[in-house]
Structure 1
Amino acid sequence: MPACAHEGRAWRSPSLASSSSGSSPPASPVLIRANGTTRRFSLPLATSPLPPAKQAATAPSSPTALCPARPWPEPPPPEPVFNGWYPLFLLRLTIALASDALSRLAWHRLLLFWPSLLASAALALFWRALATFCRVLEAAHTSAWERARPKRTVLLGGGSTLQALHLARNFHDAGARVVVCESDGLFPLARFSAAVSAFHTVPRPEGRTHEYVCALCRIAEQEKAALYVPVSASSPAYYDALAKPHLEKLGVKVFCPSARDVCRLEDAWELMRRCAALSLPAPAAHKVVSREQVLALYAGGPLKRRMLAFTAGPTAARARRCVVLPKTRAEFQQKVQLDDLNELQPWAVVQDVPGEHLITCTTVRDSQVTANVTCTGRDGVLTPVNRPEVVAWVERFVAEASKGGKLSAHLAFHVVVPAGGGAVVPLACRVGVSLPYVCLSADHPRAVWTACRHADHAPGPILASAPRLWLPSVALRALLRPTVQCVAGLGYAVFKGREAAFVAWDPLPFFAHHCIQVPLEALGSWCGVLRATPAAHSLFDPFVGVAC
């Protein structure tokens, strides 16, 4: 018996049954699962009829309207479209970079930046105020007529050196207007001096010779210079010699030899050859062009005497270099670089002579020695010495070197007076103003050109008899060895005004040199940022590259 009375037959709704005679509504398939079997039924889609009152209320107003009228929503406004993708890309890239930079910026950098900026500004204002004060003092003891009268202009090179500073002071005392120039990247020491009317920078001559010459000519024409005196300490004199014919066309007298004479004077091998031609004593010298020839000097074992290697040949005037050869062959192979040694760039290996080493600063005008100072430098003290044999040797050599033309220049000779007595032996020669120049008095410009008739002091001796001292070296020596002599030397340097950079009426360069230039150059050399300090800034190194 079936569980349901209607089981086994299809069930139909009464409403659907009443309308079965008419059109049948659509059917919807339905799957029913019961007792593990699945059956499919087709059920018509129908709902229970509404009451007549509700059917009348919900009936449409017209037979064709299936739904009430509703307003269509307005379409959204079109988004602005850039003319290409790159403006939006650049905008997003800029925002990303700015965000990354701000995120990477550490706060401690900001904390260090502002104090350092304020300290630099305060220091600049302080130096400016002090320089103005010094210029006011300098103008106070100068008459109005002296300030207003036209003066001849002297252009000096090497404004980062003590020699240029003393040259500027001496020419200022001689009644000239002083203009100083220096290469880019070097400390402008002469800028702090009250004796300097204008300071200019020029490109470095190495690799930019044309720009260097053009800059010198432009400055000389702009400042209306009548004389150009190159110091040739921070850069070789060869480049100033190249500028000489161009400056002379502008009416500027150049106190420098020609490029040919510079090459002949600064060639160590040529110096030895000339000494042999004049029957002058000369040390043992060898011209080497390869590494094997240098190693052959160690064939007999360690070197018994000190050997100095100078650049020779055509490149000696452009690349000044002097190397003290190590005593053993192993040290030489480890420390000395010989990449530039060849036929075109030879070396002159000179044997050192035991004795007293002296440095000269010789002023030659029209092939005549008009001023000469010979100094010995020990422990930061430049002491002028009287050596007639050195003066005689210099005069004889200059007379031979100037044959065939007039020679006007500053020359620096490194000579040795043998310990057992004997003739003077030369080691090297450089064209330019050497450091012993600081031992000359303010009357030295008279040895270079005709003194101005308006000079405010009578002629006096060119050579200053008192020694010049370098304050940091003397102070360090007094601290390490506090003897009576060292302390007396320190007091002499401070109270007697014999310090190499100090003058009572122009004190600002003294502080600039010892408080800024020397510490910065020492720090730069220690960090490897700056090259070694040239010999122009110290009293220990007669020539660039070695303490001979």
Structure 2
Amino acid sequence: MIRTVAALLGLAATLPADLAATAVAAIGGTAPPTRRSESPRTVLISGGKMTKALQLARSFHLAGHRVILVESAKYRFTGHRFSRAVDRFHCVPDPGAPGYAQALLDIVRRENVDVFVPVASPAASIHDADARAVLDPHCEVIHGDADTVRMVDDKSRFSEHATSLGLRVPDFRRITDPAQIDDFEFPPGREYILKRISYNPVGRMDLTRLSARTPERNSSFARSLHITDDDPWILQEFIAGQEYCTHGTVRQGRLQVYGCCVSSAFQVNYEMVDKPDILRWVETFVSSLDVTGQLSFDFIESAADGHIYAIECNPRTHSAITMFYDHPDLAAAYLDDGHPVIVPRPTARPTYWVYHEIWRLISEGNRKARLRSIFRGKDAILTGWDPLPYFLVHHLQIPSLLLRNLLARRGWSRIDFNIGKLVENGGD
């Protein structure tokens, strides 16, 4: 409770500064040049609490499309609903609720939606794939079918498919019983980690190393986790090196939007980097699926051998899409078959979330690096032609969630301004 009250007081203290920043941005703000579509459509976007949904809404709006934004009732105070890019906002049931697909269908019919672009949370991507079966007769859905999404979202099945294509992934085993860890012969000199195959918002940060040198820790750690046939984990080789993440938008197995960034466990800074080996890996994998949707990947470049290894695939929009904030062709690359692949413009500034940068400035030692990051880049939410979402994310959306948790006496581990929520155990 003390942390929650402190966070609320901190946001109240920054309100005047954010109000001033919003006003200054609005004075001289102009929209980036965008190619207007010759066939404007009505586009439905889910995940309205997240910055990546706002970015897509802005890109579609500037291209002349009508944008409908949806989110669950828990996040009905999202600041993004007040964006100039959003024509209508609707609340829908949680993606896992029985009425979710029907609620989307009702909106598709009522608003005459032409295209549905799910901006899914990790817990929602499979539900959006299931909803596609209901929506397909009524609008285009830029999301994989249920079988494809379930395959790539499962870390071990994804690794099996990549291996079948001759693509590199770390050594792995599917674990359904802690006893399998006791029986596994750890190769000398190599370390492994255990990762839950289902979404694990808090535990995903736990990279406890297991090896032949630590048999007791291996066993006790595995037994501290909830590993069953119904809740499998993956034992994956730990590879030291530089992490990268990618966003990809694919139409009929063809990559049309691509971005690649240096990554980390908690990633809130995005700047395009050129890694040809990663691009070739992504193109090979997506072409094998003949899918239309959004596929994001995590990679590691091994410090030992220099090779690229794919760690996992996330079948949803990546926050790296914020790098396309000034790209004139993002909407067309999403909606038009055969569009040439686009990458962030060379002039695009790195994106960040200023509250995360300020926290790092206070808590980390390398303040010059943080200040350099702030002045080189741009806040992913704040833009002059559409400034209101920035103010309301920080002074309506997040405070409303903090108050909700305060009244429920429920804790949280982190405020994530990027995805617009409080990270909690068992959260979405």
| Corresponding residue of 1:79 | none
Aligned ranges for residues 11-410 of structure 1 at < 5 Å? 151-186=40-75, 187-206=77-96, 208-209=97-98, 211-233=99-121, 235-250=123-138, 252-295=139-182, 305=191, 307-311=193-197, 316=198, 322=204, 324-327=206-209, 329=216, 333=220, 337-339=224-226, 341-377=227-263, 380-400=268-288, 402=289, 406-410=290-294
Inter-CA distance 215–483: structure 2 relative to 1 (3 Å threshold): closer
Indicate which of 478, 503, 516 corresponds to 2:361: 478
Unaligned runs of 5+ in 1: 1-122, 452-458
Contact 1:263 1:317 in 2 (8 A): no
Whether 1:463 and 2:344 are equivalent positions in the alignment is yes
Q: What is the CA–CA distance in structure 2 between the aligned matches of 1:504 and 1:215, rounded to whole Å?
A: 34
Aligned partners of 1:236 and 1:317 also within 8 Å = no
- Counterparts of 1:487 and 1:294, CA distance in 2: 45
Partner AA of 1:359 in structure 2: C
- Segments of structure 2 that go 5 or more residues without pairing to the other structure are 1-14
Name the stretch that deviates more: 507-516 or 351-360.
Answer: 507-516
Q: Residues 98-150 of structure 1, C-alpha deviation per residue, up to 9 Å, x if partnerless?
A: xxxxxxxxxxxxxxxxxxxxxxxxx9xxx9xx99xx8xx99x99xxxx9xx99
Deviation at 1:444, TM superposition (A): 1.0
Structure 1 length-normalised TM: 0.61
Normalized against structure 2, the TM-score is what?
A: 0.77
Contact kept? 1:233, 1:534, Cα under 8 Å: no
Cα pair 1:322 1:544 within 8 Å, conserved: no
The structural deviation recorded for 1:336 is 7.2
CA distance in 2, matches of 1:392, 1:228: 28
CA distance in 2, matches of 1:437, 1:525: 30
Separation of aligned partners in 1, 2:417 and 2:122: 7
Instruction: Tell me how large the CA RMSD over aligned residues is.
Output: 4.1
Are the counterparts in 1 of residues 190 and 237 from structure 2 also a CA contact under 8 Å? no
Contact 2:178–2:222 (Cα < 8 Å) also in 1: no
**Which of the two has higher C-alpha Rg?**
1
Mark the CA change 1:383 to 1:296 in structure 2 (over 3 Å): closer, same or farther: farther
**Contact 1:363/1:409 (CA < 8 Å) preserved in 2?**
yes
Q: Do the aligned partners of 1:161 and 1:189 also contact (CA within 8 Å) in 2?
A: no
1:529-548 matches, cutoff 5 A: 529=410, 537=418
Q: 1:289 is aligned with what amino acid? A: T
Name the CA shift for 1:300/1:395 in 2 (closer, same or farther; >3 Å): closer
Distance 2:232 2:342 in 1: 43
- Distance of 2:200 and 2:373 partners within structure 1: 39
State which of 334, 342, 364 in structure 2 corresponds to 1:448: 334
Instruction: Sort the Cα spacing of 1:421 and 1:215 in 2 relative to 1 into closer, same or farther, 3 A.
Output: same
Q: Distance in 2 between matches of 1:336 and 1:198?
A: 49
Answer with 276-285 or 500-509: which moved more. 276-285
Conservation of the 8 A alpha-carbon contact between 1:266 and 1:317: no
Once the two structures are superposed, residues 209-251 of structure 1 have per-residue CA deviations (whole angstroms, 9 ceiling, x without a partner) of 3x1111000011001000000011264211111111221222x
CA distance in 2, matches of 1:489, 1:310: 33
Q: Deviations over 1:12-48 (max 9, x none)?
A: xxxxxxxxxxxxxxxxxxxxxxxxxxxxxxxxxxxxx
**Offset of 1:470 from its aligned partner?**
1.7
Paired residues, what number? Answer: 383
